[in-house]
Amino acid sequence: MNLPVVYHPNYVAPLPEGHRFPMVKFSLLHSLLLKDGIVTGDNIYSPELPLFESIELVHAADYVRDYSQGTLHPKAQRRIGLPWSPALVQRTCIAVGGTILTARLALKHGLACNTAGGTHHAFPSFGSGFCIFNDIAIAARTLQELGLVKKILIVDLDVHQGDGTAYIFQNDESVFTFSMHCQSNFPGTKQRSDLDVPLVEGLDDDGYLWTLSQYLEDLLSQVKPDLVFYDAGVDTHINDLLGKLALTDTGIYRREMQVLSTCLSAGYPVASVIGGGYAKDISSLVYRHSLLHRAAAQAYRLYKL
Ligand SMILES: [Zn+2]
């Protein structure tokens, strides 16, 4: 048995030509993982669409309805930054289903990775910054509702603060939100996570990894989660169009190994999502995202999951 990886062809929905959101990366990531043997016939899992009841564990029913039917106010639609289409609704929902499935697989096998997810700027009644429904928040509440987990730790290392996630769980002691992000980046107004670690612009591999090491291990022993969600955004990379940090490919791989080893060696299961990443050179970007799955495949063998 190899590392469980979750993918669905509907992770890609057409966008207008030249749109700055690199939608095609999801299918290219799947192709690269297949080509490099990280995904084979026996470790790829296909998600189902989530129930509206699951989405509404986090989001307001009128927002879910208006978005799904394409009747959201134009201003609210613009804040999301992606033009509405029925295909995008499908894409949004199947990616949420993907993170729910990833979480269930992580509980069963100790570690699992989605090839999408990390829509952490989605708030209960509105979307923002390319995020429509908050996949990790929905998956967390869904697994709690099913009685599969009680305590959850969200480790959000996307370069942008996980503001929607922080807001959703601000009064919920069963979910601990940890966000390490570039201070001077989007969103302009930050929310309060249970632990925020703001970073200065231009931080490099060693500075970043040292800072992370100061928090993660202690957090695990403090929170003692039944499940860790890991948002492995690669917009921390030096060549990212929207990030302002200076991690290299090697730094990102070391980060993924550090997060996974710290959690797995202490016996905590991890459900990973890919998070943000923006570049004109799409193949470099896809490779950066694949570092998560490469590290996870190695960790899966190392810890004999
Ligand atoms: Zn981001």
Give the Cα separation of 116 and 143 in Å (integer): 19
- Please give the single-letter amino acid code of residue 256: E
pLDDT in tens, the chain (305 residues): 799 999 999 999 999 988 989 999 999 999 999 999 999 989 999 999 999 999 999 999 999 999 999 999 999 999 999 999 999 999 999 999 999 999 999 999 999 999 999 999 999 999 999 999 999 999 999 999 999 999 999 999 999 999 999 999 999 999 999 999 999 999 999 999 999 999 999 999 999 999 999 999 999 999 999 999 999 999 999 999 999 999 999 999 999 999 999 999 999 999 999 999 999 999 999 999 999 999 999 999 999 88
Give the Cα separation of 36 and 240 in Å (integer): 24
**Ligand 1 mean position, distance from CA 159 (Å):** 5
Predicted confidence at residue 12, as pLDDT, reads 96
**Ligand 1 mean position, distance from CA 140 (Å):** 20
- Residue 288's nearest CA partner among 243, 222, 228 is 243
**Ligand 1 mean position, distance from CA 97 (Å):** 21
**Ligand 1 mean position, distance from CA 41 (Å):** 31
| C-beta separation of 220 from 258 below 8 A | no
Give the Cα separation of 114 and 140 in Å (integer): 15
**Ligand 1 mean position, distance from CA 201 (Å):** 14
**Ligand 1 mean position, distance from CA 244 (Å):** 11
**Ligand 1 mean position, distance from CA 182 (Å):** 10
Look at the alpha carbons of 213, 251, 1, 7 in this order and tell me if their dihedral is positive or negative.
positive
**Ligand 1 mean position, distance from CA 278 (Å):** 8
- Residues lining ion ligand 1 (Cβ < 5 A) are 158, 160, 233, 235, 276
**Ligand 1 mean position, distance from CA 122 (Å):** 12
**Ligand 1 mean position, distance from CA 187 (Å):** 10
- Please give the single-letter amino acid code of residue 11: Y
Alpha helices by DSSP H, listed for the chain, are: 25-35, 52-55, 61-69, 74-80, 86-109, 135-145, 163-168, 205-213, 216-223, 249-265, 282-302
**Ligand 1 mean position, distance from CA 176 (Å):** 20
**Ligand 1 mean position, distance from CA 35 (Å):** 27
| C-beta separation of 233 from 277 below 8 A | yes
Which residues are CB-contacts of 173 (< 8 A; sequence separation ≥ 6)?
A: none
- CA angle, residues 11, 17, 23, in degrees to nearest 5: 20
Distance of CA 136 to the CA centre of its chain: 7
| C-beta separation of 274 from 117 below 8 A | yes
| C-beta separation of 43 from 111 below 8 A | no
**Ligand 1 mean position, distance from CA 78 (Å):** 18
**Ligand 1 mean position, distance from CA 31 (Å):** 23
Predicted confidence at residue 255, as pLDDT, reads 98
**Ligand 1 mean position, distance from CA 166 (Å):** 14
Predicted confidence at residue 305, as pLDDT, reads 86
Give the Cα separation of 135 and 34 in Å (integer): 24
**Ligand 1 mean position, distance from CA 1 (Å):** 32
